[in-house]
Chains A and B, each alone.
Chain A
Amino acid sequence: MANIVGVVTTIQGSVAGGAPIFYTKDREQLQKTAFLLEKVLDCAAHEVNEDLFIIVNRKS
């Protein structure tokens, strides 16, 4: 099963939970952070909405 290993968002307080949450200033910063996390974690970044990305690990 896929795991959410990170959450990136621009809206403070919009998400909560078990995965590490990264807050960014704006959408450009959001893309950059998600890109970095995707490369570092070997995971895929998916867009939930324009202000909220999740980093998903599909390798068990």
Chain B
Amino acid sequence: MSLSAGWVTEHKELIGVIMGTAFGLVSRLLMLRSDYRQYPAYPHGKIIHIALGLIASALGAIAVPALSDKNYTAITFLTLAAQQFREVRNMERGTLVAIDDLELVPRGAAYIEGIAVVFEGRNYLSIFAAFLVSLFVMLTGWWGGLIAGAFCIGVVFRFMRGTTIAHIAQVERADVRLDGPNLYVGDVYIMNVGLDENREIIAEDGMGFILTPKNDDARVTLANLGQRQAILHDVSTRLGVLRDDGDPALLPLAKLELKSGKLGLLFLPREKDKDKAFKAVTGVPLLEAAVRRPTKANRKSTEEGAHG
């Protein structure tokens, strides 16, 4: 290793760029795990995101040596990158909207918007990781870059977790009950089912859950139509769905009990395992578009009122 120590200190910039790019790309790869949402599951979709992640991290990594070289115009390239990643968001939205019509249980616009925003955001995260690693390599040495990289990957994991339904609501199994044509989950009225055949299918295969909001903010979030559609889509993806096109009577539904704000869920799964179903419901991500904090807003306004 004749070129080790001396070479590394001499080529700090190169090491910074390489390490920054590598860590940026690794963080993007970590964030690209295909999960139960099965998206993007196809190899070409992955290649697009890996390539964009590589470009993003290279941009972030190169910004530091460029700036330290007093090449301030280099920063304008970052704005170019931002432009590019907004395009990613549009692309993801376009694809998902196009295929949403063909889903038996659609994702809904709010969920699609959430996914598209995440795709854009994750590219910025990998720029940030690359920039930080590159910066620390320039300031300290390759070991500084390693520490910064490890920190960034920790941050990435934190960002990936997000909040789920389990954070805002108590999830309970409930009986699916037919009272003549009227269908109830627990005591929440769902719909009127006319045909005997559909009643039999629902009585046999229907599965019901009651989601009780934990506080007033949660009540607003659960009532959001986009959030409800996201729950139905995710649960149907994970448990399968017993329906075909042109069977509106067998559509999974979520209805509110107006007084208490409880949400009744009815779906017809292929997989009838209770634990899996419970996990599917509790694991549904909360949509940014659906989360509201009315109690916080109201508290602030009353305080302001008190202070005149």
Contact = CB atoms under 8 A, between A and B. Distances in A.
Contacts of B180: 47
Interface residues of A, number: 14
B181 A31 contact: no
A45 B180 CA distance: 14
The winner among A31, A34, A44 for most chain B CB atoms within 10 A is A44
A42 B248 contact: yes
Interface string B246-275: 111100000000000000000000000000
A49 to B, nearest CB: 9
B246 A35 contact: no
Interface stretch (B12-20, B151-159, B190-198, B291-299): B190-198
Interface of B: 180-181, 192-198, 245-249
Interface of A: 31, 34-35, 38-39, 42-47, 53-54, 58
22 contacts: A31-B195, A31-B196, A34-B194, A35-B197, A38-B194, A39-B246, A42-B245, A42-B248, A43-B248, A44-B248, A45-B194, A46-B181, A46-B192, A46-B193, A46-B194, A47-B180, A47-B181, A47-B192, A47-B193, A47-B194, A53-B194, A54-B194
